[in-house]
């Protein structure tokens, strides 16, 4: 083999190594998105488990507010269905409904001083508020992972490897603008 053959062989080896490097980076990004989504699912599950407890505590004091309590539970079910289906657009709408229901629940609780003083209510209100903040943080991290993946699979030369090996984009988890603000539950209690 002459020098040109060795140069060509060396060039092919470098291209193959570069393609492997790109592939490994794309795999890492794909798994980062999956991990970020799993973190959101854990928090959604925790909140899902806490909401019936909050509603039950409220039910004991708020006999005339059945519609508000039912609205929170229906919204909880909508979030669970959207999460199980992996439908991020429906999840965003369901989360919007749930946050609105919780906001109304906490606003209505203002009229029940005994409820506001109940230690279980205070604990659950604090726990759910903390979960809401954690979900917002994880949503931001998930969207960052999705963005890095989506940008990477559109950049040359990564797009060649991504297209050949069927790496696709992920959908951002978008919620309405008013939902991206942290809930100010304390303000609801004046």
Q: Cis peptide leading into 157, omega within 30 of 0?
A: yes
Residue 16 pLDDT level (bands cut at 50, 70, 90): very high
User: What is the predicted pLDDT for the residue at 184?
Assistant: 53
Q: Which of 50-59, 61-70, 179-188 is predicted with the least confidence, judged by mean pLDDT?
A: 179-188
Asked if CATH classification 1.20.1440.20 holds for the domain at 21-188, the reply, yes or no, is: yes
Residue 190 pLDDT level (bands cut at 50, 70, 90): very low
Q: Which of 37-41, 123-127, 180-184 is predicted with the least confidence, judged by mean pLDDT?
A: 180-184
Residue 115 pLDDT level (bands cut at 50, 70, 90): confident
Give the model confidence (pLDDT) of 64-79 as tens digits. 677 888 888 888 898 8
Higher pLDDT, 179 or 127: 127
41-58 in b/e form (b: 16+ CB < 10 A) is eebbebbbebbeebbebb
What's the rounded Cα separation, in Å, for the pair 80 and 5? 61
Residue 143 exposed, middle or buried by CB count within 10 Å (0-12, 13-18, 19+) = middle
pLDDT > 90 fraction of the chain, expressed in percent and rounded: 36
Work out the widest C-alpha separation in the chain, in whole angstroms: 91
């Amino acid at each position: 083999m002459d020098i040109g053959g060795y140069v060509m062989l060396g060039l092919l080896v470098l291209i193959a190594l570069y393609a492997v490097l790109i592939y490994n980076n794309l795999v890492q990004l794909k798994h980062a998105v999956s991990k970020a989504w799993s973190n959101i699912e854990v928090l959604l599950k925790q909140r899902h488990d806490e909401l019936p407890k909050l509603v039950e505590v409220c039910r004991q004091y708020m006999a005339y507010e059945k519609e508000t309590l039912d609205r929170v539970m229906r919204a909880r079910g909508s979030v669970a269905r959207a999460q199980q289906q992996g439908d991020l657009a429906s999840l965003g709408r369901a989360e919007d409904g749930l946050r609105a229901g919780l906001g109304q629940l906490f606003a209505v609780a203002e009229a029940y001083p005994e409820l506001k003083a109940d230690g279980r209510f205070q604990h659950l209100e604090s726990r759910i508020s903390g979960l809401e903040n954690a979900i917002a943080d994880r949503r931001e991290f998930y969207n960052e992972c999705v963005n890095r993946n989506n940008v990477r699979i559109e950049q040359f030369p990564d797009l060649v490897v991504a297209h050949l090996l069927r790496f696709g984009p992920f959908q951002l988890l978008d919620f309405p603008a008013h939902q991206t603000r942290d809930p100010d539950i304390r303000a609801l209690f004046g």
